[in-house]
Each structure stands twice: as structure tokens, then as C-alpha cells.
Amino acid sequence: MTNETIAILHPGEMGAAIGARLRSKDLSVVWAGAGRSAVTRARAAAAGLRDAGALCDALVASSVVLSVCPPHAAVALAREVAAADFRGVYIDANAIAPATSHAVASIVEARGASFVDGGIIGPPPHDGSSARLYLSGRDAARLAALLTAGALDAVALDGGIGAASALKAAYAAWNKGATALAAAAHALAVHAGVAEALAEEWQRTQPEAVRRLDVLRRAARKAWRWKGEMEEIAGAHAEAGLPDGFHLAAAELYDRLASFKDSSAPPPLAELTRALDARARRG
Amino acid sequence: MTNETIAILHPGEMGAAIGARLRSKDLSVVWAGAGRSAVTRARAAAAGLRDAGALCDALVASSVVLSVCPPHAAVALAREVAAADFRGVYIDANAIAPATSHAVASIVEARGASFVDGGIIGPPPHDGSSARLYLSGRDAARLAALLTAGALDAVALDGGIGAASALKAAYAAWNKGATALAAAAHALAVHAGVAEALAEEWQRTQPEAVRRLDVLRRAARKAWRWKGEMEEIAGAHAEAGLPDGFHLAAAELYDRLASFKDSSAPPPLAELTRALDARARRG
């Protein structure tokens, strides 16, 4: 098993951290640097990943592909990999609905790969911060043993394809949903001129809501990426016979924060709140 | 001011507790017992409220009406009071949207009453549990002084009619919205067979979500009443240029719990979760 080579597509913050953990147990890890930014290149190099150049070269060298990308890009990436006739194990570790995971499985298996569903919970795994990579599907137990590496804990789940995606969806449904919910309630109070009274009530009995406003400020630069994830989670709820409105609303709110994309410092709460208000945005 | 008589319409758990606090400072408090249940009668008597009989008799005796009823009944109650030509102060303390509060104001003011907006935050005020009665509108400061009574803290807000309702809406938007959100995420995990793994992740990093499942179990018997409140909150969000989907989804979920109305013991979580799943309900 230690002769396996893993392709990470693509090494963003999460993918690079996972790659570094796999390198720490002497696995070969490659990526496809052709056409990628200098920032990504530097990140991948720092993580010890080998740049195989073009996607097809990375795939030829690899027995396992780990797809780690924004949710809205997951299906397109699977198509690219399938188009290159990849026949190893394809793990989709993205924040997608179980139905999307089944769609990705069909795409890559049609061209000879075997599919494993995945879901990552936790921050990028470093010293001092650990993440779980949940895996489900036929080969999940073997891959969990292969990929567990220090702060990265790979865990096989029963339930077949869709189980790992559903777990990630349920976790983020609460976590990112509650953050959007708190931000909307705060914006409602600001709109009515009662934000100070709400803050007092929240400090008295709802410290979690206060905390989440701060979480959102600090994450504002990446909130735009959560739109796609919220839409996937809405889909997962609908599939399960549950209302999808929570996460369609959260998707809309996070989309309104796109102007903070890659901003260097957390915005003041007042600025964030103005961005959430559709009427202030038009005004 | 101490000669004022306050009519509480109607003494449910919250109204009776407020009435008892007002009685403790020697205010006269009446209610309209005609046609009400034995349970309500016993509750009102225990709180020291005088039964004036018919609604019109309660109104004739009173300078202030405090409306404390389920949100869906607030407008109809205002119409009944207006129809009796009540010309004192009408406080709507219900969980309604600011726009609904303005509608209630129009109804009672058209027949000569003066209107004060209200919103209650906290559990029924007893020894050991306090509540705030927020008030806004022209007469709010005077009424706050009149109604503050021990565990009941009446607080005047700036901002005119709608401010108190908006504060209550924003508070409940998070509080009851987050409870519905956690229940839906848990139901999603149950549907996919990954509830145990989600529980482990939640215990590790999201204790608030775990706590809210227990809150919902214990409140299941009254969750049916929250449907109307969630719809009012959805309306408040829409008025403020914010997505209304969170609370329309919460309204739908709480409506699915109507079968637990007035149940004597908290249902097991598995039973609650089955009730939330539209497909299990049909099956």
C-alpha cells in the first residue's frame, strides 16, 4: 500500500494541508500545476507535493485521486478526470449533496475508475488542528487506513456512496447555517434600530449567537464560497423530505458577501450587515 | 397611576405569570373568563386575577389592555377589542412582525384606543425566572414604569411602533430558528444513517446543536404554536430586505410537530425526528 501515489486536485488551503500530512507518512503526492497561480504553486511546494504538470500526467502517475475543490466545481473536475480515462480510485471529498456524489460516481465509473464518497470535517489539518476525512463506499476501509496520517484522521462510514457527503452536509447545515441565521437576526435588529437591545439579550442568554457574528466577520473573505455549499445542503434536505429553505436563504446571504472575497482584514460588523441588506445594497 | 386596572387577554402561562407580578404591586388585574376553559380559570385564579366575565365587561373596567396570545390570534383579538369601543391603552405584546403590529395599531386606534407595541423576551416571570416586556410607541416610558414588577422588567425602547416587535422577532429568529435548524440537520443525518457520527462531531465542536435537540424535545408539546411566530418572523425579514426562507422552513418543521400538542412527556428524539421527515410521515 505504501507504493500508492495520490493526486490532490487541487491544493487549496485544505488540499495542501492534507497533502502535507500524507507526505509525512512517506506517501507520494502529486498535483497538476499547469496553469495554476503562483500562490497555489508556492503552497503546494511548501506542502512537499510534486508538480506533475498537466492533469493527464498527474493522473497517469497516480492510483488515487482526492478531489478537494469548491462544491460548484466538483462535477466539472470529475468530468476532466474521466475524460483522461483515469482508472484508479476517485475520492470526492467535497461539500456536495449525496445526489451530487452519486452523479460524480456515475461520471468517473463510466470510464473505469472506482468511486469513494468523502467528506471533510474540521479545519485544514496541521499540528494543533485536526480534521476527519470521512469515507464511504466499497473501498472506504482500505482507503481510510491508507490516508490516516497524524492530524488527518480518515474514517470509514457504513452506508455506501452518499453517507460521507450526507454527514458533511448535516454538519455544515448546522455550522454554516447557524452563522447565517445569527447574521440575519442581527441585521433585522439593525434595520429596526434595536441592535443594542438585542446584543444585551444575546449576551444574557445566547452567547452562541454573539460568537457566530464574530465567526462570520473573520470568515467574510471566504463566505462567497459557501453559496455553492449551502445550495448543495438545500438539495440534501429536499432529498431527505426536509424543508430546503434554511440553506437557500443562507446561500443568498453568503452570496451578498461576495464583495469581501479575499479581503485582507475582517470587516467591521456594521459593514458586513449593510452588505446583507438587499435594500441597502440597492440604495 | 396606581388606580389603573389592566386587562390581560388572555391568561395563558405567560399572561398569568405577568398578571401575578402586576398583582404583587397591588395593581388591579382583570380578565374575561366567559367561555374559557377550566384550566385557564384555575390558572387565572391562582394568579389573583379577577374574572370580569364577558370581554366588554373586562374592557369597561380597564384603562390598559395587555394582549398576550398566540401570534395568529393577535389581529382577531384586536378587532374584538376595537369592536367594544375600548379607548384606553392597548398593548400588543405578541410575537408578531412590525408590519402586523402597525396593522393592530390601525385597528384599535380607529376606535379611539392608543396603541403601544410590545414584545416579551424570557420565560414566564416567577421567582427565579425573569422576563423583559419591551415597549415602544408614544406612551412606552409611562407604561414601562407602570408595569415593571419584580421579575417582570418592562423596558421602553426608542423607535416607535414596530421596534419592540422587531426586537422580539430578531431574538426568536435566532433562538427558535436555531432549534429548528439543528433538528433538521439531525434529521438529515438520521435519514442517511450517519446520526451517530454526527453526534460525535457535534459533541466535539458543536455543543450548542446537541443542546438544542434536547430543548426541542422538552418543548415539543408547544412547538405547534411556533408556526405562526416563524411566519411572522419570515415577514419581518422580508420587510427588512433579508431572505425569509429560514423561518418559512422553521414554520414548516414546527407544523410537522403538531401531533405532540399538549403531550404529557417529552417524546424520544427518534420519534420527534420521524415526525419531521415528510416522507416518513407519508409512509
Q: What is d(CA B259, CA B261) in angstroms, rounded to the nearest whole number?
A: 5
Looking at domain A5-159, its CATH architecture is 3-Layer(aba) Sandwich (3.40)
Residue A1's pLDDT is 47
Cβ contact (<8 Å) for A197 and B169? no
What residues have CB less than 8 Å from B156, skipping those under 6 apart? B134, B135, B136, B140, B141, B143, B144
B219, HSE (Cβ side, Cα atoms, 13 Å): 17
What residues have CB less than 8 Å from B254, skipping those under 6 apart? B176, B180, B223, B224, B226, B227, B230
Residue A277's pLDDT is 85
Cβ contact (<8 Å) for A192 and B159? yes
User: What's the distance, Cα to Cα, between the start and end of chain B in Å?
Assistant: 60
Residue A2's pLDDT is 58
Q: Which residue in A has a C-alpha nearest to residue B162's C-alpha? A: A192
Which of A187, A192, A280 is closest, CB to CB, to B162?
A192
**pLDDT per position as a tens digit, A187-223:** 999 999 999 999 999 999 999 999 999 999 999 999 9
Identify residue B23 by its one-letter amino acid code.
R
**Angular region, B19: left φ>0, alpha ψ -120 to 50, beta rest:** alpha
Q: Which fold has domain A166-282?
A: N-(1-d-carboxylethyl)-l-norvaline Dehydrogenase; domain 2 (1.10.1040)
Residues of chain B numbered 144-183 and touching chain A (CB < 8 Å):
155, 157-159, 162-163, 166-167, 169-171, 173-175, 177-178, 180-182
Here the cell at position A183 is 447574521
- Write the ipTM: 0.95
**pLDDT per position as a tens digit, A223-269:** 998 999 999 999 999 999 999 999 999 999 999 999 999 889 999 99
Which of A182, A188, A202 is closest, CB to CB, to B242?
A188
From A3's Cα to the closest Cα of chain B, the distance in A is 31
Angle between helices A207-219 and B163-191 (to 10 degrees): 80
- DSSP-assigned states of every residue in B44-66: HHHTT-EE-SSHHHHHHT-SEEE
- pLDDT tens, per residue, chain B with 283 residues: 457 999 999 999 999 999 999 999 999 999 999 999 999 999 999 999 999 999 999 999 999 999 999 999 999 999 999 999 999 999 999 999 999 999 999 999 999 999 999 999 999 999 889 999 999 999 999 999 999 999 999 999 999 999 999 999 999 999 999 999 999 999 999 999 999 999 999 999 999 999 999 999 999 999 998 999 999 999 999 999 999 999 999 999 999 999 999 889 999 999 999 999 876 665 4
Q: Where are the domains of chain B?
A: 5-159, 166-282
- pLDDT of A281 above 70: no
From B276's Cα to the closest Cα of chain A, the distance in A is 7
Average pLDDT taken over every residue of chain A: 96
Q: What is d(CA A32, CA A54) in angstroms, rounded to the nearest whole number?
A: 5
Chain B residues with CB under 8 Å of A132 CB are 201
Sheet hosting strand B5-9, strand order edge to edge: B50-51, B28-31, B5-9, B64-67, B89-92, B114-121, B131-136, B152-157
**pLDDT per position as a tens digit, A75-133:** 999 999 999 999 999 999 999 999 999 999 999 999 999 999 999 999 999 988 999 99
Interface test with A, best of B121, B157, B167 (most A CBs within 10 A): B167
10 Å Cβ neighbour count for B270? 10
* B5 in Cβ contact with B27 (< 8 Å): yes
Q: What is d(CA A263, CA A220) in angstroms, rounded to the nearest whole number?
A: 8
Cβ contact (<8 Å) for B278 and A242? yes
- pLDDT of A145 above 60: yes
